[in-house]
Structure 1
Amino acid sequence: MPAQLYQADAILWGLAFIIGLYLGGSPWGWVIALVLGLLMSFCRNQAPIWPKFWRSLPPDRSWLIATGIALIAMAYMFLRTPTPGATDISRVVTRLTAMGGEPTVMVEGNVQTYPLPNRAGKLRFFLEAERYQHVPGRGGESLLQGRASGRLYVTIDAKDGADIRPGQTIAVTGFLYQPKAGGNQFYRAFNFQRQLQLEHTFAGLAGRQAKILKAGSPWGLWALRERIFMAQGEKLGAEQGPLLSAMLLGSRAVGVPFDIRDAFRRVGLSHAIAASGFHTSVILGVVMLLTRPLPKNRQLQVGGAALILFAALSGFAPSAVRAVLMGLAGLAALSGETKTQPASLLLAIAVGMLIVNPLWSEDLGFQLSFLATLGLIVSAPAIEARLSWLPGPMANLMAIPLAANIWVFPLSLAIFGVFPTYGLIVNVITTFLLSVVTVGSFISGLGAVLWPTLGGLLAWVMYYPIVILLWLVDFFGSLPYSLLALGALGWTQVFAIYGLILLVWLHPWWQKRWVLALGTSLSLVIVPFLLVQTNTFRVTVLDNTQTPIMVIQQPGGNVVINSGDLTSAGTSLGSFLAAQGINQIHWAIATTRQSQDQGGWADLAKITPIIRLSEVPTASSDPDYREMLTQLPTEKQSLRLDQEAQLGDVAIKLLRADPAVIQMQIKDKKWLLITEPPRSLGQSVWLRSANLPRPDVLWWWGRKFDPNLLDILQPQALVLTTAQLSSGVQDELKSRRIPFYWSGQDGAVQWQPSGKFLPNQSTGDSGL
């Protein structure tokens, strides 16, 4: 009994440490920790109700210690959270802005990470800054130069960064910026600022050109990884090669094409291209099988070495480190022939990793990996027992993905808002193929380290298994509603569902009534989803400044104005539609015919079907746009000048084609979209002569807002899709007492029929 109590105390204190790290991000975290800890201690001591339950918990002293541990964890998280130093390169942005200069700089520094492609086709890497110099415009003088410190997130064209490698000293010239924070007032936008902060980075550099000043060492783990994926890619090609490499190195270390990443995500196989427990279990199983003739100690040593090599090649990704530590602990237990409790071991490993790096607590890969592993440990055996009626190994094949998905589902839905409809069946069907490809990747990777030609030949053997795997992924991913948008869950829903999962795991009464828990959990997801889809009317102007994008949600059908390019459609617009639970676009409207503004419709339609697309036929178009239009499987119609088109409570009238001026009647409010012309095309003169009705809301997109529009149109409110808004224009709007919101400051902006505007960034009061 004492040993059990000590173990319960250790589990409680480990959980308190983890909870404390998460509460450290909340301004009221210390209050929550104190109140919760003292309340639990009081209930354990006094047991006002359910005395048998409270007496089964650790003593009140343990709860007080747990409260102290949680508070210490909060302080630890605060101390370990990165902050910019006095000479950090990010401070140059504010200094140049204050001096009236453009933040165009040349930065010298040391390359920290291997360049990998982003969605826009550029290369991205981290640079440790050493020196900087302001690059003035034509005829200007350099305002600042000097030494600098800190890391930079650099993006640069692929052709300019093709020869960049870790360890090199390079000079990059480009636009220096501070990353944008993600708002969360009405939906959780991607927080780029926080993401970089966790990487000890506080500024980005959009590079225009790069020059290698000093070659780095040709040796390192990055060189081994490059040797592997170059050898595999040379034999298998641009699609199959990176996919095979990702099975060994993980998608964080390999430039897997984003269409393949998206395809795997649509069918619930994202874990297959992330260095995770699946890969370690397969690799360890094969190594133990091949080394069976060796003595047991030598066999375990080889297995441990294989796991450590796997973690190193993956770049020590948190999910890979967790999986490797679990494997090493299992090997240690085998060497001593002792029994371990996997759930307690998993908790101990998580606590140990978070002591080393508490910032991993915010790494989504770490969170999902931990939950999936916990599901396999505590739920898979029970599920397999209930599926024992299935023939052969089917019970085990279904229990493993089902258990992992049960524990991952609430958090995944809160972050992404989507559910892979065919995920379970795809996981079952592809288990054997994934195992074969993982083993093949490991063997060919080892061969490539010894001799690239050998690694390439071994990789070629995997060609047909990979082709079959990709075919299965594409087939299921192309089925209707392969990725079902259910909307992002609120944290109350998430905690409630996890509470039910824990009850089914720990409480015998709930174990017998797991169907009730399942039904309650599903209702917590489905009922709010149905209520939103059948009763919601709201207008959202997204924060993408390259293209004006609007989403109108109404019971009569969803309307989307502009898709943006491939990057915008796949990130800002796609993630917003998923978070809102939008599974169909009833009316898509393209205000231009340029691929940089509309190139994302075809990719968007693969996930969210589009019923009808309206475009401006007289606007100029480019070849990429026309090609995209031919690939779009939807009804197409033209917006005619001065002819009104309607869907539900939304009516659209095209007033001018190029640049676009569109009048929108949304409920009883008049909106007017005006896009800034590329040159002085007499827009102000046209607007004066057009005799337009006074809009309730003016939605403007461009670079430099003309205050004369206020006199011409006299709007009651203003929404500006622009990255910058001069202080003079802001002062003018404030003096006229016109409520205004601009995407560079407020992020996305939402409007409801009551007339209320809500910026996604918490920045103040309508600019007034």
Structure 2
Amino acid sequence: MFSITKADGILWAIAFITGCVFSLFQWGWLGVLALGGMLYSGRRWGGKVWLRLPSSQSFAIATGVALLAMAYVWLRTPQPGVNDISSLVPRLEGLNLPSTVLVEGRVETTPLPNRAGRRRFFLGVERYQNLSQVPAQSEVLQGRASGRLYVTLPAAEGAKLHPSQRIQISGRLYLPRGGGSEFFRAFNFRRQLQLQNTFAGLAGNKVTILDQGSPWGLWALRQRIIQVHAQGLGDRYGAVVSAMVLGNRAVAIPFEVRDSFRRVGLSHALAASGFHTAILLAVVLAVTRFLPQQWRYGLGAGVLVLFACLSGFAPSAIRAVLMGLAGLVALVNGQKGQPLVILLAIATAMLIYNPLWIEDIGFQLSFLATLGLIVSARPISDRLDWLPTPLRNLVAVPLAATLWVLPLSLAIFGIFPVYGLLANVLANLPLVLLTVGGFISAMVGLLVPPVGSALAWLLYYPTAFLLWLIQTIGQWPGATIALGSLGWLQVVVLYGLIVLGWLSPRWRRRWFLLFTLGVTLVLVPFILRQNTLFQATVLANTQVPTLVVQQPAGTVVINGGDPQGLTAFLAQEGINRIDWAVASDRQYRQQQGWREIHGITPIRQFTDVPTAKSDPAYREMLTTLKVPHQSLPLRQPVQLGQVKITVLRADPAILTLEMGNSQWLFVSDPSRDAAQTDWLAVTPVEPPQVLWWWGRKLTPRLFEIVKPRSVILSRNALDPAIARYLKEKEIPYFVVGEAGEVRWQADGSLKANAPQNDGLI
């Protein structure tokens, strides 16, 4: 008779989590069957080692649990309803109506700034109607709707909004673009919104408040805490201290501060995590030593629950709070907790509650870091016995967490913070002070705001020191190294090496060999790639056309209008330096990203097309960039390695790009009169293999004149008439707003960055 043991329960919990992970891959169910079959066969017919594992029947049940977990994830994945507001987009397109709409609904989240300086929030939709400058086209479609919208607003309009308000907002309705992952793991905006039950976005411009809603709620407590800290410390420092209490998902932290923390491996300090709950719980238990035991533990539990509420129930915060509560329960019962079993139980329970959290990066990294602390902190500390005990623990804790987080982090971001361990050690004390002081001033500020602000003021110098420390370390040479995104096979092997060192005492003694194998697995493919790769990628940026050429002689980048997207691409490709930067115009609005890009990925040489217009802001940027600069000459090729650029026309730019044996023609046409087409009609140009076009007005006449073999269009969408023309002429074309990034390879082939079923990224 089959009896259930503790080992069986642990196995099935692991199987459930494994099934959730495998659900992120298109053929994940085959992987589950293969893994389950292998373990079942090994247990039934294997040798003595297999006899230590649960029974073969238990493995068969575990395989079924994993398959059920996959089905559970798919069933819980949100889908748009029949009356969802997203269905309005194709209806507007079908009637050739503008995408401008007027929407009524309730604000569901606190508006926070995005990198473009606008406010973003979610709106629960109630009613809609279409708008048009042509009276006959206005209000053709109207009625009730359901679902949510991801809304962005100008900062001034969004600043007056808060959750529960009923508003009326006008703007452009759109469907979010999915992120490709065939060759570049671009951020999948559509998928991230889908996980939050949202299938459309609204670029709003004007809002009218219809109902002020309730002035109470957790959002109001968070806003009061933010105001208390801002009044005592100023907006910049106050936001950092508030993040210690509320987490970065609820606070408008300046993006340059976020980036500086990320560069030195301290992103977790701004997130609601176990670091903060451990400090708060330790302080509460220490301060209440004189109270009865039940009061002490009750207050500790209350602080943890309050922290979870204030943080907005972020998955990483929930995990940390549940671990803390489990520890308190063990103390109350006088038992020694089993942290690994507790962590497994919490992970399983959280995924049963919301299996979609398996795609949350914070959830993934939080559990991996905690697992590292449980299983690796003590062995690492023992290896560091030559250090003083306090310093040994300071080093062992971040090192253990980093060890388990690094493979996944490299797969997602492709960046290694060289001084991350040192930054964690040096920043430990100020982070503890800010966490405790921030929480105390927040609690007092909820009752008496002026007193809370006065207490927050005491944190001014610790906050200033922390930011100075982080910015200083971030400016050290080689503060970050872009190693490129790891392949999932590399990630699996790296975690296999880590698990081998954890479970096998013999391999643990040979830790240096495991370390060498891991470093080799990361560095050898990186070095080979940098010394052999020759390819070019047009990024999915429709505002400023952007091209990155990778070759052994050096990286070439054309235009830097989107620093966030470009630097993310460079990091994932393992590019640590731009050898030749090219600006196709001299307008600051189009080229303002170069300064931020240079701060992350150094630029060796900067050139621009000698256009007639050059605004003062652009010239100021050149002086602050502190990079050798020159203008490209007209009709004289400039070369780096296998890349040769020739300016045919400067204002606006027409360039020929020779890459190996392939020739591109880049046409920038920002005017509405198709002037570039007229110029090309009287100027002989050799038909290119690829026409790369960006502008406002596009006509079939351009293709008749240029006669390209392929076309890449840096725009959001393509006119149906032009699409039909290109299909009739059998000219392959790619619209980056729809296809995503487009890659050219040395053999002359073009490939779009098609979306893959890979939710891990």
Bucket of the pairwise TM-score, normalised by the shorter protein: over 0.9
Find the partner of 1:293 among 277, 282, 290. 290
Cα deviation, residue 245, structure 1: 0.3
Q: Is 2:667 the counterpart of 1:674?
A: yes
The 8 Å contact of residues 108 and 124 in structure 2, kept in 1 or not, is answered as yes
Cα deviation, residue 75, structure 1: 1.4
CA distance in structure 2 between the aligned counterparts of 1:234 and 1:660, rounded to whole angstroms: 50
The 8 Å contact of residues 501 and 514 in structure 2, kept in 1 or not, is answered as yes
Cα deviation, residue 30, structure 1: 2.1
- Residue identity in the other structure for 2:284: V
Cα deviation, residue 539, structure 1: 0.6
CA distance in structure 2 between the aligned counterparts of 1:411 and 1:753, rounded to whole angstroms: 30
Counterpart for residue 510 of structure 2? 513
State how 1:309-388 maps to structure 2 within 5 Å.
Answer: 309-388=306-385
CA distance in structure 1 between the aligned counterparts of 2:249 and 2:102, rounded to whole angstroms: 28
Counterpart for residue 429 of structure 1? 426
Counterpart for residue 39 of structure 1? 38
Cα deviation, residue 5, structure 1: 8.4
Cα deviation, residue 681, structure 1: 6.5
- Residue identity in the other structure for 1:416: F
The 8 Å contact of residues 562 and 588 in structure 1, kept in 2 or not, is answered as yes
Superposed CA offset, 1:676-699 (max 9, x none):
132427322321222122212111
**Corresponding residue SS for 1:493:** helix
CA distance in structure 1 between the aligned counterparts of 2:501 and 2:344, rounded to whole angstroms: 19
The 8 Å contact of residues 420 and 483 in structure 1, kept in 2 or not, is answered as yes
Cα deviation, residue 38, structure 1: 2.0
Q: Is 2:658 the counterpart of 1:655?
A: no
Counterpart for residue 391 of structure 2? 394
CA distance in structure 1 between the aligned counterparts of 2:565 and 2:224, rounded to whole angstroms: 35
Counterpart for residue 658 of structure 2? 665
Between 636-645 and 112-121, report the one with greater CA deviation.
636-645
Between 67-76 and 362-371, report the one with greater CA deviation.
67-76
**Corresponding residue SS for 2:29:** helix
Superposed CA offset, 1:525-569 (max 9, x none):
1011001100000010011000100000000010000001xxxx3
**C-alpha root-mean-square deviation of aligned residues, in Å?**
1.5
**Corresponding residue SS for 1:643:** coil
The 8 Å contact of residues 704 and 725 in structure 1, kept in 2 or not, is answered as no
Closer, same or farther: CA 285–619 of 1 in aligned 2, 3 Å? farther
CA distance in structure 1 between the aligned counterparts of 2:232 and 2:588, rounded to whole angstroms: 34
Counterpart for residue 632 of structure 2? 639
Between 651-660 and 221-230, report the one with greater CA deviation.
651-660
Find the partner of 1:103 among 99, 105, 116. 99
Sequence identity of aligned pairs in percent?
A: 53
Q: Is 2:102 the counterpart of 1:86?
A: no
CA distance in structure 2 between the aligned counterparts of 1:459 and 1:594, rounded to whole angstroms: 43
- Residue identity in the other structure for 2:515: L
- Residue identity in the other structure for 1:641: L
Q: Is 2:604 the counterpart of 1:608?
A: no
Counterpart for residue 759 of structure 2? none
Closer, same or farther: CA 682–80 of 1 in aligned 2, 3 Å? closer
CA distance in structure 1 between the aligned counterparts of 2:743 and 2:3, rounded to whole angstroms: 53
Cα deviation, residue 4, structure 1: 13
Counterpart for residue 539 of structure 1? 536
Cα deviation, residue 624, structure 1: 2.7
The 8 Å contact of residues 583 and 609 in structure 1, kept in 2 or not, is answered as yes
Cα deviation, residue 52, structure 1: 2.4
CA distance in structure 1 between the aligned counterparts of 2:715 and 2:142, rounded to whole angstroms: 30
Which structure's relative contact order is higher, taking Cα pairs within 8 Å and 6+ residues apart?
A: 2
Counterpart for residue 176 of structure 1? 173
Counterpart for residue 710 of structure 2? 717
Counterpart for residue 51 of structure 2? 55
CA distance in structure 2 between the aligned counterparts of 1:3 and 1:432, rounded to whole angstroms: 53
CA distance in structure 1 between the aligned counterparts of 2:24 and 2:493, rounded to whole angstroms: 21
**Corresponding residue SS for 2:688:** coil
Find the partner of 2:118 among 122, 139, 152. 122
Find the partner of 2:743 among 728, 739, 750. 750
CA distance in structure 2 between the aligned counterparts of 1:385 and 1:667, rounded to whole angstroms: 55
CA distance in structure 2 between the aligned counterparts of 1:726 and 1:358, rounded to whole angstroms: 40
**Corresponding residue SS for 2:101:** strand
Cα deviation, residue 370, structure 1: 0.4
The 8 Å contact of residues 190 and 199 in structure 2, kept in 1 or not, is answered as yes
Number of matched pairs: 755
CA distance in structure 1 between the aligned counterparts of 2:755 and 2:319, rounded to whole angstroms: 36
CA distance in structure 1 between the aligned counterparts of 2:414 and 2:4, rounded to whole angstroms: 40
Counterpart for residue 559 of structure 1? 556
The 8 Å contact of residues 96 and 143 in structure 1, kept in 2 or not, is answered as no
Counterpart for residue 11 of structure 2? 12
Cα deviation, residue 236, structure 1: 1.1
Cα deviation, residue 668, structure 1: 1.6
**Corresponding residue SS for 1:719:** strand
CA distance in structure 1 between the aligned counterparts of 2:470 and 2:739, rounded to whole angstroms: 39
Counterpart for residue 622 of structure 1? 615
Q: Is 2:692 the counterpart of 1:692?
A: no
Counterpart for residue 137 of structure 1? 133
- Residue identity in the other structure for 1:594: Q
Closer, same or farther: CA 721–267 of 1 in aligned 2, 3 Å? same
CA distance in structure 2 between the aligned counterparts of 1:645 and 1:237, rounded to whole angstroms: 50
CA distance in structure 2 between the aligned counterparts of 1:27 and 1:698, rounded to whole angstroms: 34
**Corresponding residue SS for 1:705:** coil
Counterpart for residue 201 of structure 2? 204
**Corresponding residue SS for 1:190:** coil
CA distance in structure 2 between the aligned counterparts of 1:711 and 1:579, rounded to whole angstroms: 38
The 8 Å contact of residues 41 and 63 in structure 1, kept in 2 or not, is answered as yes
CA distance in structure 2 between the aligned counterparts of 1:73 and 1:143, rounded to whole angstroms: 45
- Residue identity in the other structure for 1:20: G
- Residue identity in the other structure for 2:91: R
CA distance in structure 1 between the aligned counterparts of 2:688 and 2:106, rounded to whole angstroms: 53
Closer, same or farther: CA 679–98 of 1 in aligned 2, 3 Å? closer
The 8 Å contact of residues 5 and 58 in structure 1, kept in 2 or not, is answered as no
Superposed CA offset, 1:172-207 (max 9, x none):
100011111111111111000010011111110000
Q: Is 2:728 the counterpart of 1:729?
A: no
State how 1:465-484 maps to structure 2 within 5 Å.
Answer: 465-484=462-481
Counterpart for residue 249 of structure 1? 246
CA distance in structure 2 between the aligned counterparts of 1:619 and 1:187, rounded to whole angstroms: 36
Superposed CA offset, 1:586-615 (max 9, x none):
000000112221111111111100000001
Superposed CA offset, 1:12-37 (max 9, x none):
11111011112223332222222221
CA distance in structure 1 between the aligned counterparts of 2:484 and 2:316, rounded to whole angstroms: 26
The 8 Å contact of residues 151 and 203 in structure 1, kept in 2 or not, is answered as yes
Counterpart for residue 459 of structure 1? 456
CA distance in structure 2 between the aligned counterparts of 1:94 and 1:79, rounded to whole angstroms: 25
The 8 Å contact of residues 24 and 74 in structure 1, kept in 2 or not, is answered as yes
Cα deviation, residue 758, structure 1: 1.1
Superposed CA offset, 1:58-91 (max 9, x none):
1101101101111111111111110000111111
State how 1:218-257 maps to structure 2 within 5 Å.
Answer: 218-257=215-254
Counterpart for residue 68 of structure 1? 64
Counterpart for residue 766 of structure 1? none
Q: State TM-score, norm by structure 1.
A: 0.97
Unaligned runs of 5+ in 2: 757-761
Q: State TM-score, norm by structure 2.
A: 0.98
Unaligned runs of 5+ in 1: 764-768
Between 444-453 and 683-692, report the one with greater CA deviation.
683-692
The 8 Å contact of residues 672 and 696 in structure 2, kept in 1 or not, is answered as no
**Corresponding residue SS for 2:655:** strand
CA distance in structure 1 between the aligned counterparts of 2:755 and 2:69, rounded to whole angstroms: 28
CA distance in structure 2 between the aligned counterparts of 1:399 and 1:619, rounded to whole angstroms: 59
Superposed CA offset, 1:434-474 (max 9, x none):
10111111011101111111111111000000000000001
**Corresponding residue SS for 1:140:** helix
- Residue identity in the other structure for 1:586: D
**Corresponding residue SS for 2:301:** helix
Counterpart for residue 216 of structure 1? 213
